[in-house]
Each structure stands twice: as structure tokens, then as C-alpha cells.
Chains A and B, each alone.
Chain A
Amino acid sequence: MTLLITVFAACISTAVWYKTSGRSEMKPGILALMYWGASIMWFVDAVVEYAELKSEYFTPAPADMLNDSFLGFSVVALGLIIWLVIVMIKDPKGVIRKKN
């Protein structure tokens, strides 16, 4: 579930990056790359787990699924927070610098 939610986040942020022609000052490309990086790493984890569990991998216990979903959404939120911090530090529109 964590992998699935992160892949969705990666696809959405990539679509936003493409929509803004890759030239947005908000740097959605960084967010997309962050989510893709995590997705690739969790994909490797999933392959290793699949090799151990075989078809059981696709029938997780409801409690595990709920925990993994909760983790997935938390990961997406953390990614957004990291991205916001990067945007605030780089301040491409000079909003924070203007106020100081």
C-alpha cells in the first residue's frame, strides 16, 4: 500500500511538472523526483518480499493494510513538507526576502 500510494503521488507530481512545462518556479520536479526515488526503493523492497511470500504478498491482513496506508499517506505528507521547506529556502518569487 505504501508503494502504491507513493507511486500515485509520483505520477500526480510528474503530471503537474509536465503541465507547467518543467519551468515552474515552484519546482514540482523536485517533488516528483523525491517520490520516484522512494517508489523505486520500495519497489525493490516489494520484489524481495514477493520472492519470500509469493502470492501471499497480494493478500495482506487488513490490519497490515491499514497500517501501510496510514504510513503511505504520512510519507506523502512528509514529502510535501520537505518540498515546501526547499521552496521556502530557495524562495524563487522572493516573497520571504521582500518581507524581511
Chain B
Amino acid sequence: MACFIVPGTEAIVATAVLVAVKHHEAKLAAPSLGGKTAQVEKKTPFSKKLGWLCSLLWGGVALLAFEHIWHGEVVPFPPFLTAAADPVSKAEMLHEMGTSGVAMAVLVTLIWAGMAVISSVLESKTARHTAAEEGV
């Protein structure tokens, strides 16, 4: 009905955070063009990882929105969501947003968090391996 609105809202928030994080990282990287950047470049920046979440969310929302248009649940005129036209359907729609929509947003975020953690662990392992090899 309108479950994609919940991950859509998360996508907007995640994109806003991504812009702020990119700005922050650019500020941090600018003065230290010396020795520290070489170390920073080896690790995937948090902005890139956040970009993965944005791609997951925006991609999913765009394709789900298309599915809703396909099924006639989203229309190009007010109230835009056909379920919002009468109170019974509206209640059903809100219930679906609260269950399916929230579950979608949570699952996507959990999978992204898993990807970010695995990426960090692999990078740390590689860094330790390289450091050990250089030490020998």
C-alpha cells in the first residue's frame, strides 16, 4: 500500500547524514596531507559505507514505488496514495507502514551494518598482515 514510505524516509535521513559526513571528512583530510592520509586511504571511509546504505535504500524505494504505481496504489493526483482516500483503507495502510515498512527499513539497515562490520574486520586483518610482513 505505502510500505516504501518508511525506508524512503530513512533514505532521506541517511542522505542528509552522508552529506554531513562527507563534509566532515573533507575538513579532516584537508590540513593533514602529510603522513596521516596514506594510512587513512587504506581504510574505506565511513562516507563510502554510508553510500552503500543510501544505494540500498534509494534503489529499493524507487523499484518498490514503481511496483506500487503498477498496482494502482500510487497515483499522480491527490491524495497520491489510493488507500488514503477512505478511513478504513487509511488505517490498513498505516498498519502496513508500521509493520512491513518498519521491518524493511530495519532489515536493510541490519544487513548494511553487517556489511560495514565485515568490511572493517577484513581491512583490519589485511592491515595487520601487511604490518607483520613489513616487520619481518
Residues of B close to A78: CB separation below 8 A: 62-63, 66
Q: Which of A37, A48, A71 contacts B55 (CB 8 A)?
A: A37
Is the contact region of chain A dominated by helix, strand, or loop, or is it mixed?
helix
User: What's the interface size class on A, roughly?
Assistant: 20 to 34
Q: Which of A2, A38, A39, A48 contacts B100 (CB 8 A)?
A: A48
Q: Are the C-beta atoms of B55 and A33 separated by less than 8 Å?
A: yes
Q: Which of A40, A45, A79 has the most CB of B within 10 A?
A: A40
Is the contact region of chain B dominated by helix, strand, or loop, or is it mixed?
helix
Q: Are the C-beta atoms of B108 and A40 separated by less than 8 Å?
A: yes
Q: Which residues of B contact A (CB under 8 A)?
A: 3-4, 7, 52, 55-64, 66-67, 70, 99-100, 103-104, 107-108, 111
18 contacts between A and B (CB under 8 A): A2-B67, A30-B55, A30-B59, A33-B59, A34-B56, A34-B62, A35-B59, A37-B58, A38-B59, A38-B63, A40-B111, A41-B4, A41-B7, A41-B104, A44-B100, A75-B67, A78-B63, A79-B63
